[in-house]
Structure 1
Amino acid sequence: MSRRRQFPLLALLLAFAFLGLQAAVPATARHAAAPLGNYGALGDQVTIALASPKQLLVNGLAISDVDPADTTLLVLEHVPIDGSGAPELVSAAAWHDQTVAVLDQATEMLASRERTESLALQSGVETWTAAPHVRVVAASANRATLVVAVPKARVALTEGREVDLSDLLPTAVLPNTRVTRVDADSAATTVRSAPVPDRLVEVLRKHKKPTKGDKRIRAMLKKTTIPEMRADVEWLTGEDPNSPLTTRHSLSEGHLVAAKWMREQMTKYGCDQVEFMEFRDGYGPNVICTIEGTDLPDEHVVLGAHLDSRGSVFWPYSRAPGGDDDGSGTAMILNFMRVLHSSRLRLRRTLKVISFAGEEQGLIGSKAYARAARERGDRITWMLQGDMLAYRKPGEPLQCGLPDRYMTPEANLIVRKVAEAYVPEVQVGSTSACCSDHQSFFENGFASTQIFERNGPIADPMYHNSGDLSRRTGYDYEQLQALARVALATTMVVAEIAEP
């Protein structure tokens, strides 16, 4: 045959092959999957999607024997700790191997319903209402991210309360593990792009060139002083002898005590309304302060920190002072309210100051708030989160780390520009410690970012540790003061002072 006659035959064969492949592909795989999120470091991510109500995809591959309706996926990410000698804290491979080994132990224990104190997961647990199979279903190529399928089983605690197994399973993992929960309904809150609010564009235009700033804001910065923030931090950690707290774990009585204390402080500092937002059985509430805007009340500016804490053993009754993570952020939002109240200034936009719960279990409280805000149609102009603001590695300058992912670039730029104008002593840079409650707002289409204590990776040796107290080497109130000033100046610039 000539080559001219071979080509139609080859095309026909290819067409039949394509049709055969299409027939072999399940119908669910041929339809567009609903994305549930990308997790892990940029360039080496794990992608999770929902192909159908009964089929999960991880990196495009179907996960067998996992029913999305009856399963919670826990995405576990390795968080390197700068300067630590422990290999599992530095090496992703060592972290991966130890995490998998611990999860295997947890699975065996759950299947046999043994009660042993050798595994932290068992602490405080009286009975299991099921013997579920917990398993690792995927991992990133660099071994720094694991996806774990957890059946939606209930666990009865010794005091009679029941919680989901996925709420307690993080007990088993290493302290330097970031936990994100992914449920089938997360498809409704996946990352989406949205126009940058006009107000942020206006702020960037005004700060295109160096500015001296607003003298009223500069006066507020002078009122951001260390003694008041120290008192707040020491009450939250229990270092204050008058404080009853030993933990603020979201599932503990201590968290509810701290939430009531936050409500009292917010009321004292002039919030127009303070409310508890319940979002999940067994968890303490989000605490929300609302300060109504004057002429632009429908535009919201959100300033947040998380109230909950975790210790070396992640169960509800272990010691978890949370001095840096996130007692420092909580002290920052209290400082903002205190200084704003004493200044007698009003803001054009409505301010929401939120103390979130459930951050350590996977941003649960902030996800609930951000999703509800989107469903209500709230016009959130800006969200700024403060998480871990007080540790300074010896010999390093004052710093402000901005996240390298899960953020709005324009929001990062505003923090940088405002810091240069009002707090020039702070070196602004980038950090991989990216993922706090602002991520929930970003995933719901709201402009958001975070401030962190350091440029680069986490350096605090007491990260997720029961030794996270304030009276220790490296806990630096000048660092906290500097970032509290950055948060105050940025929030005031975006919310905008109302003229008398």
Structure 2
Amino acid sequence: MTELEKINAKAQGIRFFDITESQDLDNLASLRLMRQISFPSPNATEQVKAVLKTLSTAGPKENLAKFTSFRTRYYRSDTGRQSQQWLLSKIAEITDDYASNSLKEHISISEFSHSWGQNSIIVSINGSSVEDDDIVIISAHQDSTNIWPFLPAPGADDDGSGSVTILESYRALIAAEFRPVRTVEFHWYSAEEGGLLGSQAVAQYYAAQSRNVLAMTQLDMTAWVKRGTSEEFGIITDYVDPDLTEFNKKLVDAYLEIPYVATKCGYACSDHASWGKAGYASSFCTESAFENTNKYIHTSNDRIDISAEFSFDHMLRFSKFAVAFAVELGGWKA
């Protein structure tokens, strides 16, 4: 299909993966030995809670104001490339400011190159274990789109909110001198709006290298609290790994001040689906029950200031969740 045909399909509500550059993903999954993984109940309470106290809305507010100032973060646009480069520089700046010199030796920041110009970003905090090569992934997608890509797409909620949410979690963890037993990675994917292109490419690369991803979770849209509803933490239950999803529910119960709501997307609606397609345990969390999510996405009104329903305090709940996910599954070297 041409790019215009893809745009028209999306405008008509057709859901799809774009498998142009990731046609081996299913084959790689079938070649993988599917591991039987059991996820424990949360048990790192004191370590997690110590980090949660240091999380703030200040960084996300400043970062999202900048991130949404680009006219669009559409993955094939010049400003999409520029926004990715800004995000990369911001991650490097936070790492330089908050990680100790000894911790920096265990952190790597890299671009995962794509043919369309806007690259994905991978930050790895290397695990201390010699025997355990499992990887824990926390992710969001950095690109934005309007229904017609030539129109402005600030993408404050979709998925600027998730992008700065996990960035705040990363900042707090490295400031707390987080030394995971297993490697913990933060991913910011390109071209989710183009058919999960960036995450498919990364998942295909990991699967081809037989990397052991224990668990991944995607945070896509974390800011919206619909007027007239109670604040809640949306946990998607379709097109996900059921055991990891149950573990996520336990994290919310243990560490968040709001309840979770089990909800369905109805389709493979974000980057977690790429990892599930590759045979890995993946999960997806979002701002609310699916029917209560932000109605302004994919328009020029997906902005910070469009409504009081856009909440940085709500985003903070998801930063807490990401910290808990990293510490509980990554472990913390004594």
Q: Does 1:444 align with 2:306?
A: no
Give the match's secondary structure for 1:382.
strand
Aligned 8 A contact 1:397 1:427 in 2: no
Aligned 8 A contact 2:137 2:216 in 1: yes
Aligned 8 A contact 1:175 1:312 in 2: no
User: How many Å separate the matches in 1 of 2:25 and 2:138?
Assistant: 24
Change (3 A) 1:432 1:372: same
- Greater RCO, CA 8 A, separation 6+: 2
Unaligned runs of 5+ in 2: none
Q: Which residue of 1 aligns with 2:114?
A: 279
Q: Which residue of 1 aligns with 2:304?
A: 470
Taking structure 2 as the reference length, the TM-score comes to 0.88
Q: Following TM superposition, by how much is the alpha carbon of 1:187 offset from its aligned partner in structure 2, in angstroms? A: 5.5
**Alignment deviations for residues 323-381 of structure 1 (CA, whole Å, 9 cap, x no partner):** 00000110112111110111112111112211100100100010011011001010111
Give the match's secondary structure for 2:47.
helix
Q: Which residue of 2 aligns with 1:119?
A: none
Segment of structure 1 superposing worse, 424-433 or 459-468? 424-433
2:26 is matched with which residue: 189, 212, 223? 189
2:83 is matched with which residue: 258, 268, 287? 258
Residues 326-405 of structure 1 aligned to structure 2 (within 5 Å): 326-405=159-238
Q: Which residue of 1 aligns with 2:139?
A: 304
Aligned 8 A contact 2:226 2:292 in 1: no
Q: Which residue of 2 aligns with 1:249?
A: 74
Q: Does 1:410 align with 2:206?
A: no
Q: Does 1:461 align with 2:295?
A: yes
Segment of structure 1 superposing worse, 361-370 or 396-405? 396-405
Q: Does 1:267 align with 2:98?
A: no
Unaligned runs of 5+ in 1: 1-149, 151-164, 239-244
User: How many Å separate the matches in 2 of 1:463 and 1:179?
Assistant: 18
Q: Following TM superposition, by how much is the alpha carbon of 1:425 offset from its aligned partner in structure 2, in angstroms? A: 1.9
Q: Following TM superposition, by how much is the alpha carbon of 1:196 offset from its aligned partner in structure 2, in angstroms? A: 4.5
* Runs of 4+ off more than 3 Å: 175-179, 182-185, 190-198
Structural RMSD (CA) = 2.2
Q: Following TM superposition, by how much is the alpha carbon of 1:180 offset from its aligned partner in structure 2, in angstroms? A: 2.2
Q: Following TM superposition, by how much is the alpha carbon of 1:251 offset from its aligned partner in structure 2, in angstroms? A: 0.5
Residues 228-247 of structure 1 aligned to structure 2 (within 5 Å): 228-238=59-69, 245-247=70-72
Aligned 8 A contact 1:292 1:351 in 2: yes
Change (3 A) 1:185 1:214: closer
Q: Following TM superposition, by how much is the alpha carbon of 1:424 offset from its aligned partner in structure 2, in angstroms? A: 3.8
2:51 is matched with which residue: 212, 217, 220? 220
Aligned 8 A contact 1:283 1:358 in 2: no
Q: Following TM superposition, by how much is the alpha carbon of 1:461 offset from its aligned partner in structure 2, in angstroms? A: 1.7
**Alignment deviations for residues 130-164 of structure 1 (CA, whole Å, 9 cap, x no partner):** xxxxxxxxxxxxxxxxxxxx2xxxxxxxxxxxxxx
Taking structure 1 as the reference length, the TM-score comes to 0.60
**Alignment deviations for residues 29-51 of structure 1 (CA, whole Å, 9 cap, x no partner):** xxxxxxxxxxxxxxxxxxxxxxx
Q: Please tell me whether Structure 1 or Structure 2 has the larger radius of gyration of its CA atoms.
A: 1
Q: Following TM superposition, by how much is the alpha carbon of 1:491 offset from its aligned partner in structure 2, in angstroms? A: 2.1
Change (3 A) 1:426 1:265: farther
1:489 is matched with which residue: 318, 324, 334? 324
Give the match's secondary structure for 1:457.
helix
Q: Following TM superposition, by how much is the alpha carbon of 1:428 offset from its aligned partner in structure 2, in angstroms? A: 3.2
Change (3 A) 1:283 1:176: farther
User: How many Å separate the matches in 1 of 2:156 and 2:36?
Assistant: 34
Aligned 8 A contact 1:349 1:496 in 2: yes
Give the match's secondary structure for 1:324.
helix
Q: Does 1:325 align with 2:164?
A: no
Change (3 A) 1:274 1:185: closer
Change (3 A) 1:495 1:184: closer
Give the match's secondary structure for 2:91.
helix
Give the match's secondary structure for 1:485.
helix
**Alignment deviations for residues 37-87 of structure 1 (CA, whole Å, 9 cap, x no partner):** xxxxxxxxxxxxxxxxxxxxxxxxxxxxxxxxxxxxxxxxxxxxxxxxxxx
Q: Following TM superposition, by how much is the alpha carbon of 1:449 offset from its aligned partner in structure 2, in angstroms? A: 0.5
Letter in 1 for 2:109: V
**Alignment deviations for residues 407-430 of structure 1 (CA, whole Å, 9 cap, x no partner):** 100110110011101114233322
Aligned 8 A contact 1:194 1:446 in 2: no
User: How many Å separate the matches in 2 of 1:262 and 1:197?
Assistant: 36
Q: Following TM superposition, by how much is the alpha carbon of 1:266 offset from its aligned partner in structure 2, in angstroms? A: 2.2
Letter in 2 for 1:456: F
User: Higher strand proportion, which one?
Assistant: 1
User: How many Å separate the matches in 2 of 1:354 and 1:322?
Assistant: 18
Q: Does 1:425 align with 2:258?
A: yes
Q: Following TM superposition, by how much is the alpha carbon of 1:484 offset from its aligned partner in structure 2, in angstroms? A: 1.8
Q: Which residue of 2 aligns with 1:498?
A: 333
Give the match's secondary structure for 1:180.
coil
Identity %: 22
User: How many Å separate the matches in 1 of 2:278 and 2:6?
Assistant: 25
**Alignment deviations for residues 2-53 of structure 1 (CA, whole Å, 9 cap, x no partner):** xxxxxxxxxxxxxxxxxxxxxxxxxxxxxxxxxxxxxxxxxxxxxxxxxxxx
Aligned 8 A contact 1:398 1:427 in 2: no
User: How many Å separate the matches in 2 of 1:312 and 1:303?
Assistant: 27
Give the match's secondary structure for 2:156.
coil
Change (3 A) 1:353 1:497: same
Segment of structure 1 superposing worse, 437-446 or 470-479? 470-479
User: How many Å separate the matches in 1 of 2:219 and 2:45?
Assistant: 23
User: How many Å separate the matches in 2 of 1:406 and 1:186?
Assistant: 19
Change (3 A) 1:177 1:477: farther
Segment of structure 1 superposing worse, 322-331 or 415-424? 415-424
User: How many Å separate the matches in 1 of 2:258 and 2:21?
Assistant: 45
